[in-house]
Amino acid sequence: MGWIRAKSFSGGSMVSAALGNIERIQTFNGSLEGRVLAQLGSINIIDVTTGTISIAPSPGILARDGVGSIVCQSMNGSIYANYLGTGDLGRLSTTTGNFFGYIEANRLKSSSFSDGLRIAGQFTGNAIFSGNIEQQVSLLRLGTGSSIVAGGSLVSPQQVQIADPAGLKGQIIINRSNASGQWNAPVVVGTGNPALAPLPAYTTPSSQLGGGAVGLVPFRYYASDCAPFGDTPDDANNNPTPPLSSQLNNGGEIKLAFYGPVRASNATGVPIDIGIVVPGMNSYMRVTDRFDVIVRPSTGGNPSRFVTIKGKSGAIYGSGLYYVAQSTVPNGSRLVSDIPGANPQLVPSFGYFFLVKRDCNGDNIADAIQRKQPGESPYPSGETFAECVATRLSDQRRDCDRDGVLDSCALLNGRCYADLTYDCNVDDADFQVFANAYSQVYSCIGDFDGDGITDEVDFNIFTRYYDALVCSEDSCLQNVQFRASICGQVP
């Protein structure tokens, strides 16, 4: 079929080449609202430069052997360039407005045009290419819930350019077929900004890009998008607003992020491990059962690139460093990339840290920040223990016995607080346990004041109680019970 020219093509109309190709369709000062079909051939050019394309129902534009070029002011409809075939899409360009709809093709590729997907406004919908993206992609913004997918590679030197600096609101996926696809071309968000780097695990958080992400299958852990940030133990320690034990007890959440949607590999079991780091930092005590882990199941649910770790009411959250990683439970569920296919790909190994600080009285302030020992401001420097005790009822911050714990939570006088081996004696063995905790910084067992780290403050508290030497049976039992109450099981 050759060249068809008309002022417009109204709704309900159809141009169909049952056995061959369509060379060109062109409108003059009008729009295209009728379907264009080449079930056994190709469509070379659709030129609606002076109008819009709005075609319902789907499929609006369909070909087996490809679609060369579509130019219009804006478009609402669907394009199938590879219907029962392997056709490519060469170019789709909206000159003034948005695209809303669906695109499916083998590749985004043309020998005649350089601007493969050029949308002057927002792209809302899904563009699925089973092969490579080999043409330039240029958008004002990629809408929330929208996606551009390459089953193969994003090929250099062509680039993806999103003009709005907060315009990456949807998802770009590379290598969805999980073969050998590569991310070889730059992706730029915001005109004039540098390309995302390094690849494929770029460091710019999604909050600075629009909330979406670009991911290469298998999807990696997105460190800078986690909340709170915790790529290393020091990151967790330096967080200005770490989770408090009281917040976790009230359902507080921690967000683990990835560059693309993830799910559990099967319907049973939790796909991640959560543990408290023990001295030496080469192992952790698994406490996964103290949390609810929310991730898309193996079937059903909406795709998400986040895993939510949520605290449980009544669970014990000891102060200290926590570690999150891929599950190691034999034959258990694993975290995998959420893409079609019978063989889901494991998320590459990762390690995430978060530091919990103790808030024993539940006032949403870390105990270590508000604790007031005798003589500390605003109280007089010469304040005695008895004078301190007299203020306990009116000031919940007091720590009159200097044990690092607010007196409103627990009065520890007489308890065998320095017995870290739980043998009812305070001796060199306990000192060695504390020294190990002190040298490794992060340990609930050495963290007397509940700030999540073992430091000089904890050393001063430990040495004060180290003088107890021999503990009574009752004090020994009280100590074990207390430590179990703040750290969970005694590590």
Q: How confident is the model at residue 413 (pLDDT cuts 50, 70, 90)?
A: very low
Phi/psi at 90 (nearest 5 deg)?
Answer: -85, -50
Instruction: Tell me the CATH number at 280.
Output: 2.60.40
Residue at which a domain ends, from 163, 197, 219: 219
Say whether both 420 and 328 belong to one domain: no
Residue 491: predicted pLDDT: 43
For residues 346 and 397, membership in a common domain is answered with no
pLDDT tens digits, 254-302: 999 999 999 999 878 899 999 887 655 567 778 899 999 999 877 777 8
Residues 391 and 346 in one domain: no
In a domain, 104, yes or no: yes
Q: Which CA distances in Å does 252 have to 33, 163, 228, 397?
A: 51, 36, 12, 23
Number of domains the chain is built from:
3
- Chain-centroid distance of CA 256 in Å reads 5
E strand or H helix that includes residue 261? strand 253-264
| Helix pair angle (456-466, 428-440), 10° resolution | 170
> Rounded CA gap, 54 and 361, in Å?
61
* Beta carbons within 8 Å of 316's beta carbon, 6+ residues apart: 290, 484, 485, 486, 487, 488
Please tell me whether residues 285 and 379 are part of one structural domain. Answer: no
Question: Are residues 87 and 48 part of one domain?
Answer: yes
Tokens of 132: 């490579």
In a domain, 411, yes or no: yes
Which two structure tokens, joined as six digits, stand for 110? 């043309």
Residue 225 lies in a domain: no
Instruction: Answer yes or no: do 128 and 157 share one domain.
Output: yes
| Same-domain status, 348 and 447 | no
**Residue 228: inside a domain, yes or no?**
no
Total-model pTM: 0.84
pLDDT tens string 151-205: 999 998 879 999 999 999 999 999 999 888 999 999 999 999 999 999 999 999 9
Which residue is it, tokens 């998008």? 225
Q: In what order do the strands lie in the sheet with 291-294?
A: 291-294, 304-311, 253-264, 335-337
Contact 160, 185 (CB under 8 A): yes
Residue of 75 and 299 predicted with greater confidence: 75
Mean predicted confidence (pLDDT) in 404-418:
67
- Please indicate, yes or no, whether residues 427 and 294 belong to a single structural domain of this protein: no
**Residue tagged 């996926």 (tokens):** 173
**98 and 124 together in one domain:** yes
Q: What is the b/e burial string over 32-64, where b = at least 16 CB atoms within 10 angstroms of the residue's CB?
A: bbbbbbbebbbbbbbbbebbbbbbeeebbbbbb
Last residue of a domain, one of 174, 193, 219: 219
Give 2-13 pLDDT, tens digit per residue: 677 676 677 667
**For residue 142, is pLDDT > 60?**
yes
Pair (173, 263) in one structural domain = no
In a domain, 127, yes or no: yes
For residue 126 the two structure tokens come to 């899904």
- Residue 362 in domain: no
- 398 and 309, same domain (yes or no): no
Residues 278 and 407 in one domain: no
Phi-psi region of 190 (alpha: psi -120 to 50; beta: other; left: phi over 0): left
Q: Domain residues for 455?
A: 367-487
Q: What angle is formed at CA 125 by the lines to CA 211 and CA 73, rounded to 5 degrees?
A: 110
Of 119, 71, 113, which is closest to residue 88 (Cα–Cα)?
113
